[in-house]
């Protein structure tokens, strides 16, 4: 079959079809041929006529439709995919097609996965409602921090920084993405010491606090570490989902260890940043939600990261929109945040949000405790409808933060 044979502009997708939205820039061929090439190479076709093709195979042909400028959609029959196998799905719709010589650029902007495939995965175990239940926080955004410096602290100092952040008002404390079990900070000792500090803090404040320890490792070792977290009273496991891989994350989720899974997206921009090529973060967010993470970094639209408000809003929709009854994933904003940005974040995200500030807490002139207080004060002011400047008059921690970081 020729590439052009995969183009059916007026095709009406079946409810069981998996639908992808692409952007393409052809190289020396027509847009229709380029779109047909994507459909062919991601389903039953290839670059030449086949002597092995059978008539019954044709019913599995992907179909290009809804061509608008450089954008088009492809409908894939559900029979092309194995249930509960995300690597198989992505190897088809987001595999060799990105390397086709006849395409200058190709970007997968959206996916619509049919109900039968979605329901073959477990999805989030907790989601937003479950997280709020564990933390006993019903409405407000969550406040979190990342231990800084991200690498180099010994376990005693690491645990002390966590304690100070919790005392100041943080709900969540997280390892950074590249802290694993290096010689200067071994995983098990770090976990035990930090959880012990959490017990001390909870007795003093009466608030529930969480430690998101990074369990990222080879899959068998990652499972071992996650089990240790649970055995020692931890409720969270953090995992670098893209560097671990989707199947590894699914293995962790399917183990049903009764841990909230915090998904860090380290490395995503290598795939998502180029607006003309690669895969959108919204697609990755849907995939990770289906696999079963409970919270995921969704960008900020402010701070040091580069995503636009439109992209962040699309990511939020992927995490929280209706998807055949799957639980909603909590969006996490992180990257260059400080108290002065809190009103804008809530305007973009709403109250279902975890605000994670590393330098914006530990860089406070008066230290980590006051930095955490400043973040909570910024949150309180915003929820009360008071400007940060007004609130800062009677709240010293916030005042110092605003003097340090402009909005």
- Sheet with 18-26, side-by-side order of all strands: 63-68, 71-76, 18-26, 103-112, 278-279
Instruction: Provide the CA 359 distance to its chain's centre, in angstroms.
Output: 21
How many whole angstroms separate alpha carbon 73 and alpha carbon 39? 9
Q: What is the 3-state secondary structure (H, E, C) of 134-182?
A: HHCCCCCCEEEEECCCCCCCCHHHHHHHHHHHHHHCCCEEECCCCCCCC
Q: So what's the pLDDT on residue 372?
A: 98
Q: So what's the pLDDT on residue 57?
A: 66
Q: What is the pLDDT of residues 223-242, one digit of tens each?
A: 999 999 999 999 999 999 99
- Backbone phi, then psi, for 196, in 5-degree steps? -65, -40
Half-sphere exposure of 382 (CA within 13 A, CB side): 21
For residues 381-405, average pLDDT: 96
- Backbone phi, then psi, for 145, in 5-degree steps? -140, 165
- Assess whether 116 carries a catalytic annotation: no
How many whole angstroms separate alpha carbon 219 and alpha carbon 128? 26
Q: At what angle do helices 281-291 and 246-254 cross, to 10 degrees?
A: 30
DSSP 8-state class, residue 124: -
pLDDT-based confidence at residue 52 (cuts at 50, 70, 90): very low
How many whole angstroms separate alpha carbon 24 and alpha carbon 257? 42
283 vs 108, 287, 314, CA distance in Å?
8, 6, 9
Instruction: Provide the CA 14 distance to its chain's centre, in angstroms.
Output: 29
Q: Looking at the DSSP assignment, which residues form a beta bridge with residue 406? A: none
Q: So what's the pLDDT on residue 89?
A: 97
Pairing of strands 142-146, 172-174: parallel
For residues 40-65, average pLDDT: 75
CA-based diameter of the chain, in Å?
80
CB 378 within 8 A of CB 346: no
324 vs 118, 128, 328, CA distance in Å?
8, 16, 11
How many whole angstroms separate alpha carbon 224 and alpha carbon 215? 9
pLDDT-based confidence at residue 114 (cuts at 50, 70, 90): very high
Range name among 49-58, 354-363, 364-373 with the lowest pLDDT average: 49-58
Residue 53 above 70 pLDDT? Answer: no
Q: What is the pLDDT of residues 285-302, one digit of tens each?
A: 999 999 999 999 999 988
Q: What is the pLDDT of residues 245-263, one digit of tens each?
A: 999 999 999 999 999 999 9
Nearest alpha-carbon partner for 337 in 153, 202, 157, 142: 142
Average pLDDT, the chain: 94
- Assess whether 264 carries a catalytic annotation: yes
350 vs 68, 294, 342, CA distance in Å?
33, 18, 11
For residues 28-49, average pLDDT: 85
C-alpha gyration radius of the chain: 23
Residue 4 above 90 pLDDT? Answer: no
How many whole angstroms separate alpha carbon 118 and alpha carbon 1? 31
| Percent of the chain whose predicted confidence (pLDDT) is above 70 | 97
Domains of the chain (ranges plus CATH)? 3-118 (3.30.70.150), 127-404 (3.20.20.110)
Residue 45 above 80 pLDDT? Answer: no
Choose the catalytic residue: 73, 174, 262, 264.
264
167 vs 129, 163, 235, 374, CA distance in Å?
25, 6, 19, 12
Choose the catalytic residue: 148, 209, 338, 364.
148
């Amino acid at each position: 079959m020729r590439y052009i044979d995969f183009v059916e502009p007026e095709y009406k997708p079946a409810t069981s079809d998996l639908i992808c939205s692409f952007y393409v820039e052809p190289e020396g061929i027509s847009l229709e041929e380029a779109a047909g090439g994507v459909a062919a190479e991601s389903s039953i076709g290839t670059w030449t006529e086949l002597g092995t093709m059978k008539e019954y195979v044709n019913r599995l042909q992907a179909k290009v439709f809804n061509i608008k400028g450089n954008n088009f959609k492809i409908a894939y029959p559900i029979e092309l995919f194995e249930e509960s196998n995300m690597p198989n799905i992505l190897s088809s719709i987001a595999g060799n097609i990105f390397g086709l010589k006849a395409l200058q650029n190709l970007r997968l902007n959206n996916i619509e996965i049919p109900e039968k495939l979605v329901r073959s995965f477990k999805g989030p175990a907790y989601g937003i409602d479950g997280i709020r239940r564990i933390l006993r926080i019903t409405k407000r955004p969550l406040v979190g921090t990342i231990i800084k410096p991200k690498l180099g602290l010994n376990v005693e100092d690491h645990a002390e920084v966590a304690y100070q952040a919790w005392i100041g008002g943080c709900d969540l404390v997280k390892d950074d993405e590249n802290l694993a079990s290096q010689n200067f900070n071994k995983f098990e000792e770090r976990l035990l010491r930090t959880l012990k500090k959490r017990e001390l803090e909870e007795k003093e404040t009466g608030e529930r606090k969480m430690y998101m320890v990074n369990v990222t490792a080879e899959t068998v070792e990652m499972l071992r570490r996650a089990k240790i977290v649970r055995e020692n009273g931890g409720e969270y496991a953090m995992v670098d989902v893209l560097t671990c891989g989707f199947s590894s994350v699914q293995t962790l989720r399917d183990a049903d260890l009764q841990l909230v899974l915090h998904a860090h997206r380290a490395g995503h921009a290598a795939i998502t940043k180029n607006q003309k090529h690669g895969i959108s973060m919204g697609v990755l967010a849907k995939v990770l939600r289906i696999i079963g993470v409970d919270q995921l970094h969704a960008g900020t639209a402010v701070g040091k990261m580069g995503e636009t408000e439109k992209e962040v809003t699309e990511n939020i929709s992927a995490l929280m929109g209706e998807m055949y009854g799957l639980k909603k994933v909590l969006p996490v904003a992180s990257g260059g945040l400080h108290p002065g940005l809190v009103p804008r974040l809530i305007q973009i995200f709403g109250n279902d949000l975890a605000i994670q500030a590393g330098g914006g807490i530990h860089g406070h002139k008066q230290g980590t405790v006051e930095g955490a207080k400043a973040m909570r004060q910024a949150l309180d002011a915003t929820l009360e409808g008071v400007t940060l400047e007004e609130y800062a008059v009677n709240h010293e921690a916030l005042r110092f933060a605003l003097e340090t970081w402009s909005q």
